[in-house]
């Protein structure tokens, strides 16, 4: 199967069988590669029903696997959108917990100073020390940190409801051997009985560097606005997947403006930052604009979960073809019909 000529990273949402966890897969991969698995904190956000506090920020437990040479291979983390397959009445498993705060900055502070491998009753000690207090132990295993005035800083609590079972595989960036790397990881998951979650998705991240031009972004936006339904059909998107959708309406107006097209990238990025781009959409451009060091990408989020690396490579070839169409210096016109689309980008033909 033909590969791609682009550095990508892939996120694949899976579900561990009952009695297993994402740690099970992480340690299996570490053993296969002669590497190591280290417990880590993984930041996540979830909606809240508390008035005046629309979002709770979380640190959940995951595992980072390095190969025998010490290179990052993949991480295995929770995804809070995976809900339906879990028994919410199930008691917390020993050693599994999460940290919660209403300010992501406090959890970033906890990530810098706390040890994810520590037990719940001790994990927040370093954070409390920063505020000159000691953690408060509460019934049920909950641990709370307050500042010197009694204001809440963070809470640690056992993690019930089988939350150890969701497993999002987050690969390191892959410049080559994409199929082989993905095939080995998913082969491990299949061997251990991992399955596809009801809400599951696959996200493909493309190195953003080639896309840093106003014209390339403008063409990508125009392409998506014309063919978003065809892209969903090509992807065979999971209808139960959440956190998808289109961009703010202002984006297409901005990127179609001749003044925007004439901008150098720093000026174009500043204008794009004013539109209010978010991660949770079909194609995530927020990372392209904000350029975070750990995820400087254009992210296609429309694909379903899979245990077959060939699926991912077929999707990746289609996405790469879209990006290269947008980068073509000849600037071919955006196809307007389904037939013209497949003629221009045959990689988007729907299989089966």
Q: Using CA atoms, how far apart are residues 283 and 243, in angstroms rounded to an integer?
A: 11
> What value, to the nearest 5°, has the Cα angle with vertex 254 and ends 289 and 281?
55
Q: Give the residue among 55, 155, 170 at the shortest CA–CA distance from 110.
A: 155
pLDDT: which is higher, 51 or 66: 66
Tell me the percentage of the chain whose pLDDT exceeds 70. 97
Tens-place pLDDT, residues 310-342: 999 999 999 999 999 999 999 999 999 999 999
Tens-place pLDDT, residues 14-45: 999 999 999 999 999 999 999 999 999 999 98
pLDDT of residue 352: 55
Maximum pairwise Cα distance, the chain: 67
Query: Which pTM does this prediction carry?
Result: 0.95
- pLDDT tier for residue 50 given thresholds of 50, 70 and 90: low
C-alpha distances (whole Å) from 214 to each of 151, 203, 220, 228, 250 are 46, 24, 10, 20, 15
272 has a pLDDT exceeding 80:
yes
pLDDT of residue 48: 62
- Annotated domain spans of the chain: 200-348
Q: How large is the average pLDDT for residues 117-142?
A: 96
Tens-place pLDDT, residues 198-249: 999 999 999 999 999 999 999 999 999 999 999 999 999 999 998 899 999 9
Q: Using CA atoms, how far apart are residues 203 and 302, in angstroms rounded to an integer?
A: 7
Q: Using CA atoms, how far apart are residues 284 and 247, in angstroms rounded to an integer?
A: 9
Tens-place pLDDT, residues 115-125: 999 999 999 99
Find out whether 37 and 23 touch, Cβ atoms under 8 Å.
yes
Q: How large is the average pLDDT for residues 161-167?
A: 97
46 has a pLDDT exceeding 90:
no
Q: Quick one: residue 94, left, alpha or beta (phi over 0 = left, psi -120 to 50 = alpha)? A: beta
Alpha-helix residue ranges (DSSP H) falling in 154-273: 178-191, 214-235, 249-255, 258-261, 265-273
């Amino acid at each position: 199967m033909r590969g791609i000529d682009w550095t990508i990273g892939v996120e694949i949402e899976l579900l561990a069988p009952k009695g297993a966890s994402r740690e099970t897969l992480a340690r299996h991969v570490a053993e296969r590669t002669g590497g190591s698995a280290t417990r880590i904190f993984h930041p996540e956000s979830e909606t809240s029903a508390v008035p005046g506090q629309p979002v709770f920020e979380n640190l959940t437990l995951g595992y980072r696997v390095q190969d025998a040479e010490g290179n990052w291979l993949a991480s295995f983390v929770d995804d809070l959108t995976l809900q339906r397959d879990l028994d919410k009445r199930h008691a917390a498993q020993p050693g599994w917990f999460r940290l919660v705060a209403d300010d992501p900055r406090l959890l970033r502070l906890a990530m810098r100073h706390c040890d994810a491998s520590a037990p719940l009753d001790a994990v927040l000690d370093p954070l409390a020390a920063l505020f000159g207090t000691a953690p408060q132990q509460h019934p049920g295993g909950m641990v709370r940190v307050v500042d010197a005035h009694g204001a809440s800083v963070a809470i640690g609590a056992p993690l019930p409801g089988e939350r150890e079972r969701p497993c999002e595989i987050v690969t390191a960036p892959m410049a080559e051997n994409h199929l082989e790397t993905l095939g080995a990881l998913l082969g491990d998951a299949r061997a251990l009985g991992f399955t596809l979650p009801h809400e599951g998705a696959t996200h493909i991240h493309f190195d953003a560097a080639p896309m840093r031009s106003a014209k390339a972004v403008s063409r990508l936006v125009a392409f998506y606005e014309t063919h978003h339904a065809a892209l969903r059909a090509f992807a065979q998107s999971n209808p139960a997947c959440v956190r998808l959708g289109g961009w703010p309406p202002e984006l297409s107006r901005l990127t179609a403006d001749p003044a925007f097209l004439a901008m150098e990238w720093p000026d174009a990025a500043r204008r794009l930052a004013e539109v209010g781009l978010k991660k949770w959409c079909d194609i995530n451009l927020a990372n392209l604009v904000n350029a975070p060091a750990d995820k400087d990408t254009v992210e296609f989020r429309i694909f379903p979960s899979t245990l077959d690396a060939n699926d991912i490579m077929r999707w990746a070839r289609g996405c790469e073809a879209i990006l290269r169409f947008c980068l073509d210096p000849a600037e071919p016109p955006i196809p307007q019909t389904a037939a013209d689309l497949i003629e221009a980008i045959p990689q988007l033909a729907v299989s089966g």
